[in-house]
Structure 1
């Protein structure tokens, strides 16, 4: 789930936990000067993964050098950003092994030697913890890699470390600010440090924006990839349900959760999505998604992908709210026209607030209790074995977990029945049906290929308190329906980034990525962050 709120917590115990997890950075990072964003003549902010591969194939760069450069950047920038919660103590060794494979022409795949950061709710069977931001899971010892991590390794990636996140993916207490966790502290927006990074994939988005890795992986239940990507000026891909396995990911709900790439450009996002996608017997939703991505990811990189396409414009509730959002969105719509798209006005997706309150929330609370209990029970190590024990842990460990409550956790614990309960099934069916009709009926009525809308407002201050976010519905229908949602940098409100969202029907991931690529190549809107302490 996503959140922009609330007041950040500061306490010595939390700082101590964060320092302990990040100890490998100080111990293993290069002791030379901090990275200036270049290595072997390569600009880490501007280069694509194919560009890095070309440099390594030509012998101008090694994975060891690249990994060392990212470790230097983490060492330099993370004390301000709190985007990385732990660094893989084996990262340097993995990079050397990759270089050896390349020298012997035994590269494993398109990510050979590429350092990748993954969100801290994704299991790795190595010397890194998987905490979901909670000290309750510091003793967790996953028996195997998450399926997507296995695929990253098989593609040759160097798992560089874990990215910070909103604790329990924003599903603990509504007063916890986006990007805060007991294990990682408060993640900061890469562009203006006292602004919210959004969540829950806060660290993944900030790390991608700050070039702390070549690409990162986030997870989304409702906005948790696209919101932080928008406010940190990176590309965020929330795939269709089942394109990427959820096996080995700390869950909220199997009916919404999706993992996807966050990158500085669409090229890297697409390549990485292809690397982590695939069927998994542990996740039955991956079977229907088999074959929905073409064999070659490069086929989507068409700068003319928008020509002749009918693109709907979703304005209701999203324009007339902020002048900068309106300005950037109008320019984006005009660019779509310039690229040959037929822009169709009046194609607003129907409001989903009633569906969310009446059906989605009751369903998700039941699913969370079921899915989290199953995850905790199956994961080796010393940690709470179920939701009730987790709530008790939080109550007993306020020194590290903070004085926040566990209101959402308790709401889930108080649910009755399980996934075979008729009341639950009714809520889930109603929520999913309404969300899918909201999108599919709009696409069909106007014969649309996709819908665009502003992704998010400019990031508010970290300590913002409000009754919610005017853009919550830009993600909700896609999330509940299990449909893809892609955001791409579109412009700025002063130094604060703004994104453009592409939405479509189930398994339209390939088309949306193509449209996002065409828009990106025509606009080149993204610029690197300067880590301003506050707005001028």
Structure 2
């Protein structure tokens, strides 16, 4: 998700290894000889391992220290894995023994998982709800299996908007009963926050409608929402099989089979090109799809969230409304067909007629359009407002256009190089 000049390096490392690019980043400052953990990429961390400047144990100890220092205020992490140091020691032993085939990529790198991604160990998988606290999952999520195979270290669980923002219309963004209030934006709030303030090396999030692109945009980190089906959603508490990017059911098998043709030979690292913007044709959306002016009613309601005491329980009217239905009937099916037509004759037609490589919007305003048909998108830091709050720029494209989007986003990032660590102090 982030880093200074290496944000996309990290993001794509994860996409390359497990076909799952959701959020990623680096860590806070601590110096071992000439090496500084602060804003280091995964490649930097691996090089430090190889040069005996750093161990996985030291790295995990550092992150746990940062979580203890910052998390009481930021609430980015719900739970720390009690086995994290054991996993770190194991990684160090493997590195020392030079176990073949392991000493690269995410080996020995700490990772936070959004708390709707199942893991079969001592950590809870709750989607932020007390209803699932201490529940037992049958197996690791598909992406977790791949992380374990890569010998990554599961550092803990990141906070999120309860039930990924699909529980209550009244609950403010980033809030869950277990995690408390977290903002800005969600539902992968903790995944973005933890990365932005360097409490972790890598974090994973999920997206149904803006849950990756929005929080990464407003936290000054990079987020990639892959084409639907490109990543396994097995073991993830998902909202919509049509839109979620991370079960193995028939629909998911179809989506995965369809999307597998998009995975490029040789992986995604090859598309990290400094001149990735060269020759690209971009369509800039001048009027954002969803916005509200300062001082508007919506803006005042948003601000009021910070002036009221957060209670331990909000309603679950979305659950109640859904429970009263018989699922998707003709009306809903027709609506979905209309949305599909809208993207074909709107987004896709615009892209084709104007020979565009990507659509560009401020922040993550295009997220609702991209999710309708499972299009990919990447958010990259674009600047800071007068109050120092970061904002991003999002690039979206056709299904399977991740290579082109990576070139564009990385080229933009390298041309601007405006990432700076937050100055937040607890």
The residue aligned with 1:428 is 336
Question: Is 1:86 aligned with 2:86?
Answer: no
Say which SS state the counterpart of residue 258 (structure 1) adopts.
coil
Tell me, in whole angstroms, the C-alpha distance in 1 between the residues paired with 2:29 and 2:373.
Answer: 40
Asked if structure 2 preserves the Cα contact closer than 8 Å seen for 1:179 and 1:200, the reply is yes
The residue aligned with 1:519 is 412
Which runs of 4 or more aligned residues in structure 1 lie more than 6 Å from their structure 2 counterparts after TM superposition?
A: 278-282, 318-323
Q: In 2 relative to 1, CA 319–281 (structure 1 residues): closer, same or farther, beyond 3 Å? A: closer
* Offset from partner CA, 1:168-221 (integer Å, 9 cap, x none): 11111111111111111112xxxxxxxx41010000000010111111101111
The residue aligned with 2:135 is 140
The residue aligned with 1:467 is none
Deviates more, 1:37-46 or 1:86-95: 37-46
Q: CA deviation at 1:320?
A: 9.9
Say which SS state the counterpart of residue 395 (structure 2) adopts.
strand
Q: 1:316 aligns with which of 271, 278, 287?
A: 287
Q: CA deviation at 1:487?
A: 0.4
Q: In 2 relative to 1, CA 158–490 (structure 1 residues): closer, same or farther, beyond 3 Å? A: same
The residue aligned with 1:289 is 259
The residue aligned with 1:200 is 187
The residue aligned with 2:152 is 157
Q: In 2 relative to 1, CA 71–314 (structure 1 residues): closer, same or farther, beyond 3 Å? A: same
The residue aligned with 2:36 is 43
- Structure 1: gaps of 5 or more residues: 1-34, 188-195, 260-277, 324-399, 457-470
Asked if structure 1 preserves the Cα contact closer than 8 Å seen for 2:28 and 2:198, the reply is no
Aligned residue runs from structure 1 range 228-239, under 5 A: 228-239=215-226
Q: In 2 relative to 1, CA 438–86 (structure 1 residues): closer, same or farther, beyond 3 Å? A: same
Asked if structure 1 preserves the Cα contact closer than 8 Å seen for 2:285 and 2:361, the reply is yes
Say which SS state the counterpart of residue 180 (structure 1) adopts.
coil
Q: 1:437 aligns with which of 345, 349, 369?
A: 345
Q: 1:115 aligns with which of 95, 110, 117?
A: 110
Tell me, in whole angstroms, the C-alpha distance in 2 between the residues paired with 1:426 and 1:320.
Answer: 27
- Structure 2: gaps of 5 or more residues: 1-26, 295-309
The residue aligned with 2:57 is 64
Tell me, in whole angstroms, the C-alpha distance in 1 between the residues paired with 2:291 and 2:315.
Answer: 36
The residue aligned with 2:6 is none
The residue aligned with 1:491 is 383
Q: CA deviation at 1:309?
A: 1.2
Query: Normalising by the residue count of structure 1, what TM-score does the alignment of the two structures yield?
Result: 0.67
Asked if structure 1 preserves the Cα contact closer than 8 Å seen for 2:217 and 2:390, the reply is yes
Aligned residue runs from structure 1 range 165-176, under 5 A: 165-176=160-171
Q: CA deviation at 1:321?
A: 6.8
* Offset from partner CA, 1:81-138 (integer Å, 9 cap, x none): 1000001111111111111111222253510000010100000001000000000000
The residue aligned with 1:303 is 274
Query: Normalising by the residue count of structure 2, what TM-score does the alignment of the two structures yield?
Result: 0.84
Asked if structure 1 preserves the Cα contact closer than 8 Å seen for 2:123 and 2:156, the reply is yes
Tell me, in whole angstroms, the C-alpha distance in 2 between the residues paired with 1:279 and 1:150.
Answer: 18
Say which SS state the counterpart of residue 361 (structure 2) adopts.
strand
Tell me, in whole angstroms, the C-alpha distance in 2 between the residues paired with 1:92 and 1:100.
Answer: 12
Tell me, in whole angstroms, the C-alpha distance in 1 between the residues paired with 2:260 and 2:236.
Answer: 20
* Offset from partner CA, 1:454-502 (integer Å, 9 cap, x none): 015xxxxxxxxxxxxxx4xx21010111000110001000211110100
Asked if structure 2 preserves the Cα contact closer than 8 Å seen for 1:280 and 1:287, the reply is no
The residue aligned with 1:406 is 316
Q: CA deviation at 1:44?
A: 3.0
Asked if structure 2 preserves the Cα contact closer than 8 Å seen for 1:241 and 1:258, the reply is yes
* Offset from partner CA, 1:138-169 (integer Å, 9 cap, x none): 03111111001111111221010000000011
Matched positions, count: 379
